[in-house]
Amino acid sequence: MQSQTESEQAYLISQRFRGFLPVVVDVETGGLIPKTDALLDIASVLLRLDDDGWLRLGETHRFHVLPFPNANIEPAALEVNRIDPNHPLRPAIPERDALQRVFREVRQELHNTGCTRAILVGHNAHFDLSFLNEAITRAGIKRNPFHPFSVFDTATLGGVAFGQTVLARAADAAGIDWDADAAHSAAYDAEQTAKLFCKIVNRFRPTFESALNTPSHDKDKE
């Protein structure tokens, strides 16, 4: 429960991103090709503006995913993400179930915030979005809360803000601790990406607020 009413806040998250709700998503996969390679692990991190107008991390939701039938899994990919798809203790669930659980939380957040649609935040975000969109197609999910092609990419934003495009290096430049042994877990990478995105958004807060208080010049451009 928020301690301040909407009218007492500087602005709402629905105003901060033009009605979009940023949701960080990271996927770990069996390769690089969305149509053929398995989705093995997915995590999402909700983001919220606190009562003082700073962007903060909310809840993380993470699910191990069963490879879809006849999915390709490259050994080189497993060396990177250290996932054993056949481990008897891996609590994996079908793609459709994993997506529905992620989407349920996103839809609830959309309802709570008054945002119109979620927008995926990721590091090299189109990689994550492409696997997400292919999984949605395979699962036959009709109500996708995410924008189908727009993203916030922290590789680009990290380059702009800190001169670094690699996630570990951008995190280090932003003063975010990095554990190389934990990296390439969907939950860890999503949370680190979320921290980086929040750092960048908060760093540019004065620029946003200046634009918010500047009369629009759109009519002059028409």
Annotated catalytic residues are 184
Structure tokens at 14: 């629905």
Q: Comparing C-alpha atoms, which of 146, 112, 127 is closest to residue 20?
A: 146
CA quadruple 191, 197, 198, 200: dihedral positive or negative? Answer: positive
Report the alpha-carbon distance of residue 113 to residue 151 in Å, rounded: 19
Q: Cβ neighbours of residue 144 under 8 Å, at least 6 residues apart?
A: 103, 133, 136
Number of Cβ within 10 Å of residue 199's Cβ equals 22
Torsion of CA 32, 38, 41, 44, to 10 degrees: 70
| Contact indicator for 62, 186 with CB cutoff of 8 Å | yes
The backbone region for 94, taken as left when phi is positive above 0, alpha when psi lies in -120 to 50, beta otherwise, is beta
Is residue 74 within a helix (H) or strand (E), and if so which, with residue range?
A: none
